[in-house]
Amino acid sequence: MLFHLLYPLHSQSGFFNVFRYITVRSALAALSALVLSLLLGPRLIERLRRGQIGQEIREEGPQSHQVKRGTPTMGGLLIIPAIVVPTLLWADVANALVWVACVSTMAFGAIGFLDDYLKIAKKRNLGLTARSKFLLQISTGLFIGVVLLVFSYLHLYTTRLSVPFFKFFRPEMGWAYTVFVLIVLVGSANAVNLTDGLDGLAIGSVLIASGTFTILTYATGHAKIADYLGIPFVKGSGELAVFSAAMVGASLGFLWFNCHPAEIFMGDVGSMALGGALGTLAILSKQEMLLVLVGGLFVLEAGSVIVQVASFKSRGVRVFRMAPLHHHFELSGWDETKVVTRFWIVALIFSLMSLATLKLR
């Protein structure tokens, strides 16, 4: 909104011409999100404490986590506004892709909110049933997929798939793209949700991934850069860099309170919203398959759970001491801060690898 208020003034003063640049507005969105998080964080934490909205800790997990019982949760109520408000302030709100990103984030956040609410009401670490959660996630993913299919008919989007390392192989998926979108969004939301188990782990990893998407969305929205790199040019996707940058700022702000020992947890309302946001950014920037590399740490965490469950049900054998993967290293003797720091390094390596693929086409 501020973009539409300030940029038209460039005819009166050349200073206001800076607001036409996505890079400037992305930086302002990141700063706005950071300031908003730091200002509202202490108030939210205090209100959650007064309302006794604390995290329940599962008994079968590492016993060192039991001291965290009662720590305020549902920190996603801080993260989501810190992303959406700066985005709407600094992005071009006439851009349909910006609204898709915001709606998807809030929709997955709403599912997480319901899950958190039921956990708090029941005073145990069980919220929505797996069936109910998946049905809601599938419905949301299908809705986003249908919206993008309609956009493709209006020539605002394409359902062609971009494949890393192949410059000209872009298969047309047609209506099947809606199912693909559903899989990407549900997988991304749950992968981030599974990673959220240690202080600062998920939010720090999201910070790295969203920083990567700030670069990717800017590149795909810039015709000359996209042509030079051999990646799809998506008209209007450059504005998503403002959204991605807001995620960076919101992540930094939340990490201020979530670093060890955490003053607040993001809860499912935060992890599902962030996972949904990353999946949506990958889809809208036509980097759907590259998400596997950008969010490589989340893939490892989710994969460890799949392997653990499959192995135990088929052979009665546990591959890891405990899943997700971060708990395996905790039970192996690593301190929590060491696990988190090393996992951040892994996330950063995946991020750099994903950016390197841009010229390997």
Count Cα neighbours of 9 within 13 Å in the Cβ-side half-sphere: 10
Residue 34 lies in a domain: yes
Residue 11 lies in a domain: no
- The pLDDT of residue 225: 93
Report the chain's mean pLDDT, rounded to a whole number: 90
Residue from 92, 33, 99 nearest 248 by CA: 33
Residue 298 lies in a domain: yes
Residue 12 lies in a domain: no
Residue 291 lies in a domain: yes
pLDDT one-digit tens code per residue, 111-139: 999 999 888 876 666 778 889 999 999 99
pLDDT one-digit tens code per residue, 288-347: 999 999 999 999 999 999 999 999 898 988 999 998 999 999 989 899 999 999 999 999
- The pLDDT of residue 280: 98
Inform me whether the pLDDT recorded for 61 exceeds 60: no
In which domain, by residue range, is 177 found? Answer: 18-359
Residue 185 lies in a domain: yes
Count of structural domains, the chain: 1
Q: How confident is the model at residue 170 (pLDDT cuts 50, 70, 90)?
A: confident
Inform me whether the pLDDT recorded for 64 exceeds 60: no
- The pLDDT of residue 258: 95
